[in-house]
Amino acid sequence: MDDETVSLEKHFRGKESPAKLYAAIVDFPGFVPEPDFEFRFTGGPSPEKQYLHLCRITDVVPEKRLTYSWRYDGCAGNSFVTFELKEEKGGTRLRLTHSGIETFPKDNPDLAKNNFVEGWNHIVNISLKNYLEGSGK
């Protein structure tokens, strides 16, 4: 793995099956978890500084793996995000890998690896956990 790759794992205990975690990952209005489906969203470090994220699903194995490309409108570089789910005794292991970050411009501090690490840690350890606990889905 490249030094710029972000990789993290979390073990969800108890009733969080691969099917339930997969459903939470793909639960977005209009999102279709099929190869070549394109989606976009806006996000950034502040309301004044936002980036249009352009993504395309490249690989899907329902309830096991989802991979999509991740790039920014008007910006060089392309990366890939993969969610892998594996049932384990007592729950499910989620492994998230974001590779290709090194292809983004080095002169833009917003696209530094530490920002991706912080963002993915928040999504996996806080947002996804809260979604699963609060939604009942």
Domains of the chain: 6-135 (3.30.530.20)
Q: Measured in Å, how far apart are the chain's first and last C-alpha atoms?
A: 34
CA distance 24 to 91: 15
Task: Tell me what percent of the chain is helix, strand and coil, each rounded to the nearest 5.
Answer: 25, 40, 30
Higher-confidence position of 80 and 134: 80
Residue 137: what pLDDT?
44
Region 123-127 average pLDDT: 94
Residue 90: what pLDDT?
87
pTM: 0.92
Q: What is the pLDDT of residues 91-118, one digit of tens each?
A: 999 999 999 999 999 999 999 999 999 9
- Proportion of the chain above pLDDT 70, given as a percent: 96
Residue 23 has pLDDT above 50, yes or no: yes
Maximum Cα–Cα distance across the chain? 45
CA distance 130 to 12: 12
CA distance 135 to 125: 16
* pLDDT classification of 72: cutoffs 50, 70, 90: very high
b/e 42-73 (16+ beta carbons within 10 angstroms → b): eeeeeeeeebeebbbbeebeebeebbbebbbe
Residue 123 has pLDDT above 60, yes or no: yes
